[in-house]
Structure 1
């Protein structure tokens, strides 16, 4: 689980930073590149994710650190590769935008602008934002599915015990009890049978 989360996070960080470097070199100061439903334009975002108007860059760095710590603490209890992958997306996106806050004067490079109804007014975003959003949605969905799976398994565990009561005896145990011999003897000789018969004197034996 640790390896899966780490690999996904590193891959997403590299992908995010590579697209930002390419966008700054080829698009900054240029006319937006219209690709139909998607327009490529560079915006230096000093606010929050998806260009939210929050001017607290170091708070976002702290949030990225907190998210990473929370994921590391959750990994020992993680048993799903899908959940580990989702954690990697969230961590990769948080670190990707956090790196911009540190190395780009507190501004995040956004370059993806949707231009189709009904999302034509959607804020400009980047690859890191995609990782955070998709990863968080996957975490929520997978946790709900895991809770439902555990809820289905719990009655199956309690059913053999009579829903939490004492277990009923097996047929083999009942049979073994009926085959056990009793302690009362059937042909025990009495004291009269063991006592010798005394013949009176003068009589024939």
Structure 2
């Protein structure tokens, strides 16, 4: 359990460090655009008061409620993490908490906004084909997306194996 807390703390600190670097490198009120890997990865500074794709912009009370509920649920699951026997589940829960907490810190200290800074033009080109808007995201968002994928993998494939293994014993 201690290692889970340390990983969680490290992930939150990394997210906040990247956001701090983003804030410090922006040019007074404008977005600094820096191409890191052409057509693949760019740095853009953006303060987002909405959710993914700018949805629900300015709905801070709603975001606060969802964040509190999510952290309670993820905290409950965190009590069940076991990095030896349930690696994927445990990592998913740690990522859920780190991503949720990382963005919550921003909303608390940035007047309801979350600092976003990563842009993937190639991904934006692909999603525009299905009618979605381009988006800029942050490290906490990456944690949350990986958490969803890992959690689904655990539910669909690994949980059954664990249950079957315990039934045999």
Which entry has the higher C-alpha Rg, 1 or 2?
1
Q: Cα RMSD between the aligned structures?
A: 2.4
Aligned match of 1:12: 11
1:118 aligned residue: 126
1:92 to 98, 107, 116: 98
Structure 1: unaligned runs, 5 residues or longer? 158-205
Which residue of structure 1 lines up, in the alignment, with residue 111 of structure 2? 105
CA 100–119 in structure 1, closer or farther in 2 if over 3 Å, else same: same
Q: Which structure 1 residue ranges, 4+ long, deviate > 4 Å from structure 2? A: 76-79, 150-157
Q: When the two structures are superposed, what TM-score results if normalisation uses the length of structure 2?
A: 0.79
Consecutive unaligned residues of structure 2, counting only runs of 5 or more, are: none
Q: Any residues of structure 2 matched to 1:12-51 within 5 Å, and which?
A: 12-28=11-27, 29-35=30-36, 36=38, 37-51=40-54
Number of aligned residues: 156
Mean alpha-carbon deviation: is it higher for 84-93 or for 73-82? 73-82
RCO higher in structure (CA 8 A, sep ≥6) = 2
Query: CA offset at residue 58 of structure 1?
Result: 3.1
Q: TM-score, normalised by structure 1?
A: 0.66
Task: Give 1:8 deviation, angstroms.
Answer: 2.5
> Greater helix percent: which structure?
2
Q: Measured at CA, do residues 64 and 8 of structure 1 come closer, stay the same or move farther in structure 2, by a change above 3 Å?
A: farther
CA–CA separation in structure 2 for the residues paired with 1:155 and 1:102 = 46
